[in-house]
Structure 1
Amino acid sequence: MAWMAWTWPTAAFFAFIAACLIVFTVLGLRRPETPRTGVLGIETTRGDRLFITLLGSAYINLAWLGLVSAPQWGALIVCLIFAAAVFRWV
């Protein structure tokens, strides 16, 4: 694995994604939900909203890297606000 740039932040990122998937699987088994329609006009479940959040966060971070010269911590804050909005209104 020396060919990859495995750093602690990279490992923490993948561990967080794995933990989210495990938590959402357990939630889906213990407390099944019915899809709901939000501001996008499509039916979404918890997993759908997690996917939308992860995809949107990737684009936010890429845009931050390309357009803003501020530290990446600012993008993390924007991503957390985005995640809260997606889980609340989508």
Structure 2
Amino acid sequence: MLSWMVWTTPVAVFFASIVVMLAVMTIWEVRSPAVLRKGFLPIATTRGDRLFIGLMCAAWINLAWVGLGENLMQWFSLVEEPSIWISFVVSMLVLLLVMRKG
């Protein structure tokens, strides 16, 4: 069923993190409904809006990292492509920033 996708450990951790975030956000929203708030984003957002925006940023960071892997090898004279774990950590930090200050 899932054989069409390359399920490496980083990919599985990334998607499992998204599932956990969605579950936690659902419980949080039921217990304490969100209100609009204005942060550094150009619009007033709720927690759910910021989660969606943060997840989109995380996805784009990971896609860019995978797409630029070979170029990064050439630019920095690396022996192998940089670890996908680096993009995972960066994307989660960006997500946290958007959730906290967005």
Q: Quick check: TM above 0.5?
A: yes
Alpha-carbon displacement from aligned partner over 1:39-65 (angstroms, at most 9, x marks no partner): 122111111111111110111111111
When the two chains are superposed, the root-mean-square deviation of aligned CA atoms in Å is 2.1
Partner of 2:66: 65
- 1:76 and 2:76 correspond: no
1:14 Cα deviation after fit = 3.5
2:92 is aligned with what amino acid? L
Q: Secondary structure at the match of 1:86?
A: helix
SS of alignment partner, residue 54 of structure 1: helix
Largest Rg, 1 or 2: 2
Greater RCO, CA 8 A, separation 6+: 2
Could you give the per-residue CA deviations for residues 9-56 of structure 1, whole angstroms, max 9, x where no partner exists?
A: 354443332222221111111011211011122111111111111110
Residues matched between the structures, number: 90
Pair 38,13 (structure 1): closer, same or farther in 2 beyond 3 Å: same
Partners of 2:14 and 2:88 within 8 A in 1: no
Structure 1 residues 2-81: aligned runs within 5 Å: 3-5=3-5, 7=7, 9=9, 10-67=11-68, 68-69=72-73, 70-81=82-93
Q: What is the letter of the counterpart of residue 86 of structure 2?
A: G
TM-score normalised by the chain length of structure 2: 0.72
> Which amino acid in the other structure matches residue 18 of structure 1?
V
Change (3 A) 1:76 1:14: closer
Gaps of 5+ in 1: none
